[in-house]
Chain A
Amino acid sequence: MKTMDLQELEKRFQEKIDKEIKIEPNDWMPDEYRKTLIRQISQHAHSEIVGMLPEGNWITRAPNLRRKAVLLAKVQDEAGHGLYLYSSVETLGADREATIDDLHSGKAKYSSIFNYPAVTWADIGTIGWLVDGAAIMNQVALCRCSYGPYARGMVKICKEESFHQRQGFESLVTLCNGTPTQKAMAQDAMNRFWWPALMMFGPSDDESPNSAQSMKWKIKRFSNDELRQSFVDATVPQAEILGLTIPDPNLKWNEETGHYDFSPINWDEFWQVVNGNGPCNKERIEARTKAKEEGMWVREAAMAYAEKRALKKTA
């Protein structure tokens, strides 16, 4: 059998993509495709795990037992998403622990939203509503991603994320129908999380050099700006139901485009946070590094015990 040359392989690969045939772990794929996916999926996994921290913060202080249970379940779901995504990364030949080390060294990124602090209880509802809401916008599109394991994982994860989003919204409904103090707490959370939530979709299209290739490979289906616009359009009516004001004086419905117009994003803030200068970057990475370092002896013990067991069996 003649080995196919690279060009022919790439041509066939693109044909499969164009025909909407999923790429599976053992299929041939271009190195760049693999690298892009490893980067994107591990970044997504890191975001799930780092995202546990701001919310996990409030587990011990949740205002009643039902909310405590709901929050525990939510953060547990996020850990499950992380776990699932790390195994998707492994189907691409990457090592879970190595990608985690990249997170701790600062080489790998995670969603910058989690570098903002969760300072009041209203932040928990707001994170569920806006942050999980924005994540869903991104991830619904990823359910049709060309890489099979990632696409299938997203279907399950999206179901849980939309559950989180509804729970967050419901928690805010309670605050907004509560006392003036509670309503003010919700508005304050909105003021702090609105812009960082919009930044979750990443740089605008003209600043996003990798996007075109990702679209061609159908890793991405919509551009950052398209997703951001959908998010704004979907969220404004929800804010109206809550009676919360979106902190943007230029936000208004545009009859012509059929979308909401909004102010330009502060990209300087975005890049500062991405590059380590967000309010909590240092704390988040420190917390994760500490968990890994302090867990080392536990992992070693588990391995040592498993080896002893195996020896006993063969003996």
Chain B
Amino acid sequence: MKNEDLYNYVLRLGDDSLILGQRLGEWCGHGPILEEDIAMTNISLDLIGQAMSLLDYAGVLDGQGKDHDALAFLRFENEYRNALLLEQPNGDFANTMMRQFLFDAFRKPLYEKLLESTDMQIAAIAEKSLKETRYHLKHTSEWVIRLGDGTDESHQRAQTALDLLWRYTDELFFQTEEDTTLISLGMVPSMSEIKAEWSKTVLSVLEEATLVIPTNNWQFEGGRRGMHSEHLGFLLADLQYMQRAYPNMKW
């Protein structure tokens, strides 16, 4: 492999985009408001586009001639490196928006830092993706505030979503031994910087939304190591269906 450390890093980014994009695609045609149906499809589309660029680059770093489709469709479950947060089922609209918000608040500072990466390819992908991510974060922040500070019912639903999803947020800042090498080479930022930014955004939006961080601060992890929840298998069954049922064909 050409650059295993960077490959692993880029694969994590690509899988996050892929799995969340896949999840959001489930909403298409079923959104609570036509305008939001369009917005969620739009975010899904952006994420699938990011996944294509990131997984293509991962394929290059891997050096075995794999393209984005080979990586997206032909791995086994324990080879996916997305954070557990992103494979969680959509649930209701509050849950989907909260999941997206917690992720966008992480992705935005990450891409901002990756703009300065000494790796030109990563910097280029970050530049293109940052514009999209800024818009996503704006959109989901507004919804979290609207739902949190809307009616009793929407507040309750938003709080339930936060309670459920908070347990998966620490994993976003997962960092390996090998990442430290990449950090010292100026290729990627340190996660502690990203977490500080993330906390600032999350705290201010949650406050405006009148939502409270759950007292139970138990945190799950595993996705980054290929240890996934029961949900991922079903997601992959849909995602991989065509490639598995009709192998080696062009579509």
Contacts and interface: CB of A to CB of B under 8 A. Distances in A.
Interface of A: 49, 52-53, 56-57, 59-69, 72-73, 75-76, 79-80, 82-83, 86, 121, 171, 174-175, 178-179, 181-182, 287, 290-291, 294-302, 304-305, 308
A60 B22 contact: yes
Given A49-B34, A76-B38, A182-B249, A300 B25 contact: no
B34 A56 contact: no
A79 B85 CA distance: 28
Contacts, number: 139
Interface of B: 18, 22, 25-26, 28-38, 41-42, 44-45, 48-49, 51-52, 55, 68-69, 72-73, 92-93, 145-147, 149-151, 153-154, 157, 235, 238-239, 241-243, 246, 249-251
24 contacts: A59-B25, A59-B28, A63-B246, A64-B72, A64-B73, A65-B18, A65-B68, A65-B69, A68-B25, A72-B48, A75-B28, A75-B41, A76-B28, A76-B41, A178-B249, A178-B251, A179-B249, A294-B32, A294-B92, A295-B93, A297-B151, A298-B32, A301-B151, A304-B154
Interface of B is mostly: helix
B89 to A, nearest CB: 13
A83 B38 contact: yes
A178 B150 CA distance: 53
Contacts of B241: 61
A174 B251 CA distance: 6
Given A64-B251, A65-B72, A76 B42 contact: yes
A53 B37 CA distance: 12
Given A61-B238, A79-B41, A72 B73 contact: no
B153 to A, nearest CB: 5
B52 A290 contact: no
Contacts of A82: 34
A181 B207 CA distance: 56
B73 A305 contact: no
Given A182-B246, A304-B154, 4 more contacts: A60-B22, A68-B48, A291-B32, A300-B154
A62 B93 CA distance: 24
